[in-house]
Amino acid sequence: MTLLVLRDANQPVKQLQVSKPLVIAVPLLAILSISGLIISLQVQSSQTISRLEQQIRNQELRFEAVVTDKNAAIERLQNEVIALSGQSREVMDRMERVSELETELQQFIKKYGGQEGLRNLSSLSYEEPETLGVGGEFIAVHENEIERLAAVTREQFAEMSSLLDEMERNIPNTLKKARQTQHSISGTPSEWPTLSKRLTSNFGYRRDPFSGRASFHAGIDIAGRTGDPVYAAGAGKVITTAKDGSHGKYIVVEHPGGLQTWYLHLSQIGVSTGDSVKKGQEIGSLGSTGRSTGPHLHFEIVKQGEPVDPLPYLK
């Protein structure tokens, strides 16, 4: 085959002798190499794309896992806040009940002990938190609601702490007063009836200080100074205040359980028949009236009409 190359009008035509196979082979080779290049580029790019897609999928999975974790954690925390708030409310209620009991105890003491009024714990009040319904349909809790709940719970704990402080300060006092009250209203004659502890005669048979003959001594004699206070050995009711040649000035107090206490040879009587007396209350003064050799208190306990040894009763 002859290839003619026409350039300019002034220039000669060039002739190129080319063999037939070469004319077919050269364009064919060109086409083949170009399409090969295109195909390889396409394959490469599709590989890159699929690799990138795979990476993106992995990333998405990871993010999903993280988000699921976070959601679960938030839900757990929310449930904990709700549970804590419930507990706090419960503890608060119980503390209020305890505080009410303490107030009742104080009122009891005031009524029976006649002590000065104690500070009222129940004056401490707190705001009732909004109650959360139980059951019903599920309603998602918003973050700010949880925050509000947490704030209320924090306040409740602060309130509880101050209530506890108050109780800690007051209860020992109340307990002390309760003990005093219990002691003063106790009808069992156990209080030593005067200041002096000097026993000059015991309960039982003895030589009579006047006649010198054997006789029965129905009580104990406690030597003291004229004017020393004489105390009621237990709470009770004064049933006799009188004076005679044998007993001198004397007082009889009746106690629960069929017990009586007798106080003899007094210089002064400080109560009247019908009076109620507390344990340890001053009821008269020690003296030497009646059949007595010197200032002393004859103290006697009578049980169901029979004198008994007072010493086992007294502390």
Residue 67 CB-density burial (10 A; 0-12 exposed, 13-18 middle, 19+ buried): exposed
Task: Count the neighbouring beta carbons within 10 Å of the beta carbon of residue 43.
Answer: 10
To 5 degrees, how large is the angle CA 304–CA 310–CA 315? 125
Q: Does 102 bind Zn ion (CB under 5 A)?
A: no
**253-266: burial string, b at 16+ Cβ within 10 Å, e else:** bebeeebbbbbbbb
> With respect to Zn ion, which residue has the nearer C-beta, 278 or 298?
298
To the nearest whole angstrom, how small is the minimum distance from the Cβ of residue 293 to Zn ion? 10
Near Zn ion by CB under 5 A, which window of 68-76, 139-147, 148-156, 291-299?
Answer: 291-299
Beta strands in 77-223 (DSSP E): 198-201, 204-207, 214-217, 220-223
221 closest CA partner among 200, 205, 203: 200
Give whichever of 54 and 246 is closer to Zn ion, judged by the CB atom: 246
300 lies in the site for Zn ion, by CB under 5 A: no
Element at 257 (helix H, strand E): none
Q: Determine which residue in the list 102, 221, 223, 278 makes contact with Zn ion, applying CB under 5 A.
A: 221
Count interface residues toward Zn ion (CB under 5 A): 2
Rule CB under 5 A: is residue 265 a binding residue for Zn ion?
no
By the rule CB under 5 A, 298 interacts with Zn ion: yes
By beta-carbon proximity to Zn ion, the closer residue of 249 and 298 is 298
Of the two residues 255 and 296, which places its CB atom closer to Zn ion in the complex? 296
- Judged by CB under 5 A, the stretch of 22-30, 59-67, 146-154, 214-222 that binds Zn ion is 214-222
Q: Indicate the residue whose CB is closest to Zn ion.
A: 298
Angle at CA of residue 301, ends 115 and 294, nearest 5° = 95
List of residues contacting Zn ion (CB under 5 A): 221, 298
